[in-house]
Amino acid sequence: MAAHLSSGRVNLTALREAGRRELRQFLDKCAGSKAIVWDEYLTGPFGLIAQYSLLKEHEVEKMVTLKPGRLPQADVKNVIFFVRPKLELMDIITDNVLREDRGRSPQRDFHILFVPRRSLLCEQWLKEQGVLGSFIHREQYSLDLIPVDGDLLSMESESAFKHVANMMIRMKREFPGSQNSIFPVFDTLLLLDRNVDLLTPLATQLTYEGLIDEIYGIQNTYVKLPPEKFAPKKQGEGGKDLPTEPKKLQLNSAEELYAEIRDKNFNAVGSVLSKKAKIISAAFEERHHAKTVGEIKQFVSQLPHMQAARSSLANHTSIAELIKDITTSEDFFDNLTVEQEFMSGIDTDKANNYIEDCIAQKHPLIKILRLVCLQSVCNSGLKQKVLDHYKREILQTYGYEHILTLNNLEKAGLLKLQTSGRNNYPTIRKTLRLWMDDVNEQNPNDISYVYSGYAPLSVRLAQLLARPGWRSIEEVLKMLPGPHFEERQQLPTGLQKKRQHGENRVTLVFFLGGVTYAEIAALRFLSQMEDGGTEYVIATTKLINGTSWIKSLMEKLEPAPF
């Protein structure tokens, strides 16, 4: 189950093991039979650490989702709540506890496990409701960094944006002594705040995995897809057994084919799939050539692997077809064209016709916001007239309440006024070579292939840090928001790693505020580069795409009831 975690340079399986250990310890603390009441949001991330079988081993007999009302009857000794420290969840728990029948026998003990940490606010709240005393064990489970794949860690935390930045910076400042033992494995730690590169998440990702996320959304390595293309074809049985539930697939590097195509530009995926089809087809043909018992035995032993490969190929062929339908649509093309115009610096200073048309046709608001913010970022802010024009059109078309949304975007720096009167973006773009005209999608030689021309600013910074270093781009760094600093730690000689000759350095890049799959692909590309010199492990507060990112910044505006 965790094969995908050991595929990287640094073995993240141990991280998962530690998580499992901590979970076991807590469960054993609540001795006896148990039922777990789940905060639904947590089931996904927990699934990356443990399966139900582990919980069963520790006497978990029943699992339900958290909701108001009475808890189900189950005859267990303990009821444990696995929840995030949120007030609205505390209300539900209070309701559950108060409705518990105290006359029943045997009585059930209550416990709470806060994920990722306890909260004074929540416990205070419970106290005021008079139920705090009902809980015997109140603990926290620091599910902070979840290993998602061999080289990828995520906190999957919605609101960690500023918090983690502060946390890490304070950590560096206040614990200089103890830091040495925290990250002995990495040569370099690069902390990148999302604010430094607001552009990248706004652009439509063009890698295979990136497009899957953009179109269908990947949650905790799972994706839900429309089922029609995945129905097993049985002879003679029409379409009557067509499934209606979405098809759920897990996507990680344990799947050979997926590992091969996930980071490719989508235009290069088709040829890989067709080559694979030929190989698999040929492999199955082998059975006709197998004559001796030995040969047949050999073939049969390979069968499971071949079947897995065939099933994998079938799935990804279907997915690729689904994506193709979208990427060949006129709307996708028009949208991408405008994005690329902005990113290459064309006409970013006036109101864009395509955007206006989309507003007039009432395309989904998030699409509009992505484009408008992209233009703003590529222009170092919009001129008053243009900004007012867009705002007005948006408010008139989608409703005035979106003033709140637009304000949030402004606070985040995504959609703002051009204050300095000058546009820094062309300089940044040229110095860091963010726009590459001669991009090669099939056999890329530069990270710009992930957006078919645009090199993600964040990754370019990482690239330049390794070689030749940031001194060469001091001027441009000053134009980017936020301070930057470098700190070197002196490791005591005992801890210093002896690097073998030719071995690569390992850099941990921690994205504070979210990272996209396209950026991850770009970093992997750098890792694979010959004489690149550095391999990357990636950590983040959350895996994002433009849509989920903007959504998190939008106000939750309730629709008016009719």
Partner 1 sequence: MSRARADEEEYWHSSKFRAFTFDDEDDELSQLKESKRAVNSLRDIVDDDDDDDDLERVSWSGEPVGSISWSIKETASSSTSSLEGQDSSLQKGSSSYAAFPKQVSSYSLSSLFKGRNRLPSFQSLSNALSDTGVKNYAPELRRPKAEYKDYSSDWSPKDTVKRMQRGKVLIFLKRTLRREILFRELEVRQVALCHLIHFLKETGEQKLLLDLLRFLDRTEEVALSQYREHLNIQDVEKRREFLKGCIGLPFSAEDTSHIQDHYTLLERQIIIEANDRHLETAGQSEIFRKYPRKASILNMPLVTTLFYSCFYHYTEAEGTFSSPTNLKKTFKIPDKQYVLTALAARAKLRAWDDVDALLTTKNWLGYTKKKAPIGFHRVVEILQRNNAPVQVLQEYVRLVEDVETRLNLATKYKCHDVVIETYRDLKDRIQLTAYKCKVERGSAEEQNINSILNNTQIRWKN
DSSP string, 59-96: TEEEEEE--SSPPP----SEEEEEE-S-HHHHHHHHHH
Token pair 């649509």: residue? 329
Q: How far is the CB of 201 from partner 1 (least distance, A)?
A: 16
Q: How far is the CB of 529 from partner 1 (least distance, A)?
A: 20
* Residues numbered 509-538 forming contacts with partner 1, rule: CB under 8 A: none
- 154 phi/psi in degrees, rounded to 5: -140, 145
* Residues numbered 147-166 forming contacts with partner 1, rule: CB under 8 A: 162, 166
Contact call for residue 120 and partner 1 (CB under 8 A): yes
User: Which one, 363 or 383, has the nearer CB to partner 1?
Assistant: 363
Sign, CA dihedral 411-417-421-422, equals positive
**Which of 103, 105, 242, 245 is in the footprint of partner 1 by CB under 8 A?**
245
* Residues numbered 433-452 forming contacts with partner 1, rule: CB under 8 A: none
* Residues numbered 78-97 forming contacts with partner 1, rule: CB under 8 A: 87
CB 201 within 8 A of CB 457: no
Q: Which amino acid belongs to residue 426?
A: P
* Residues numbered 362-391 forming contacts with partner 1, rule: CB under 8 A: 362-367, 388, 391
- 202 phi/psi in degrees, rounded to 5: -75, -30
Using CA atoms, how far apart are residues 180 and 247, in angstroms rounded to an integer? 46
Contact call for residue 242 and partner 1 (CB under 8 A): no
User: Which one, 74 or 529, has the nearer CB to partner 1?
Assistant: 74
Q: Which amino acid belongs to residue 68?
A: P
- 260 phi/psi in degrees, rounded to 5: -75, -35
**Which of 174, 228, 295, 475 is in the footprint of partner 1 by CB under 8 A?**
174
* Residues numbered 348-367 forming contacts with partner 1, rule: CB under 8 A: 356-357, 360-367
Q: How far is the CB of 427 from partner 1 (least distance, A)?
A: 30
Contact call for residue 331 and partner 1 (CB under 8 A): yes
- 112 phi/psi in degrees, rounded to 5: -125, 135
Token pair 């344990």: residue? 254
Beta pairing, strands 505-512 & 534-540: parallel
Using CA atoms, how far apart are residues 392 and 398, in angstroms rounded to an integer? 10
**Which of 399, 413, 426, 532 is in the footprint of partner 1 by CB under 8 A?**
399
Contact call for residue 72 and partner 1 (CB under 8 A): yes
Beta pairing, strands 109-114 & 135-140: parallel
Token output for 408: 């949030």
Q: Which amino acid belongs to residue 286?
A: E
Task: Give the total of residues touching partner 1 (CB under 8 A).
Answer: 125
Contact call for residue 61 and partner 1 (CB under 8 A): yes
Contact call for residue 11 and partner 1 (CB under 8 A): yes
Beta-bridge mates of residue 65: 38
**Which of 189, 273, 290, 351 is in the footprint of partner 1 by CB under 8 A?**
273
Contact call for residue 502 and partner 1 (CB under 8 A): no
Contact call for residue 302 and partner 1 (CB under 8 A): no
Contact call for residue 415 and partner 1 (CB under 8 A): no
Contact call for residue 419 and partner 1 (CB under 8 A): no
Contact call for residue 317 and partner 1 (CB under 8 A): yes
**Which of 28, 29, 64, 130 is in the footprint of partner 1 by CB under 8 A?**
64
Collapsing DSSP states into helix, strand and coil, what is residue 505?
A: strand
Binding mask 253-272 for partner 1 (x = CB under 8 A): -x-x----------x--xx-
Q: How far is the CB of 527 from partner 1 (least distance, A)?
A: 14
Contact call for residue 393 and partner 1 (CB under 8 A): yes
Token pair 């600013």: residue? 457
Q: How far is the CB of 518 from partner 1 (least distance, A)?
A: 18
Integer distance in angstroms from the first to the last C-alpha of the chain?
49
